[in-house]
Amino acid sequence: MQEKVYLTPSWLLAAALVGLGDTLYLSYYHLLGITPGCALHGCEIVLNSVYATPLGVPMAYLGVIFYAFMFFLGALLVIDPTSKGLRLGVLAYAAIGLLSSLCFETIQVTIIHAICMYCAISALTTLALFCIAVWHFRATRRV
């Protein structure tokens, strides 16, 4: 059972890489000034809306920062999976990411009236990060 608990930081790393790939892809296209192709019709609407660049900073860039830092925290957790402060930090950071994702998805549905496939992938990845962080935190609290 203990071996499975110590795999959770590796799962954090894997999920952070998925999110990093997603946001790097969007960041690359933003730098080129091109809207990426999408299986859903809503990507063009969402990615070109005023909500895609709050205060002039593209949401994709913020996503890169979020996932890169989560990857860094996951790497530290691989080194010391029982560190109470690190476990709590990962959990809090994942919770902030999840709340942010919920806000962004709510804006898409209620204000923009469109759904971006890449944003949905990011939101699901953030949900996975949060679930893994909770699982690891609860599984290592007695260690």
Assign 3-class secondary structure to 91-123.
HHHHHHHHHHHHHHHHHHHHHHCCCCHHHHHHH
Least confident of 32-36, 130-134, 139-143: 139-143
Q: How many domains in the chain?
A: 1
What DSSP designation does 43 have? H
CATH number of 124's domain: 1.20.1440.130
Query: Domain range holding 125?
Result: 2-139
Has residue 27 got a pLDDT over 90? yes
Cα-to-chain-centroid distance, residue 120: 10
Q: Where are the beta strands (DSSP E) in the chain?
A: none
Least confident of 5-9, 25-29, 91-95, 121-125: 5-9
Question: Which of 19, 17, 18, 53 has the alpha carbon at shortest distance from 33?
Answer: 53
Average pLDDT, the chain: 91
pLDDT value at residue 7? 82
- Across 97-118, b (16+ Cβ under 10 Å) vs e yields bbebbeebbeebeeebebbbbb
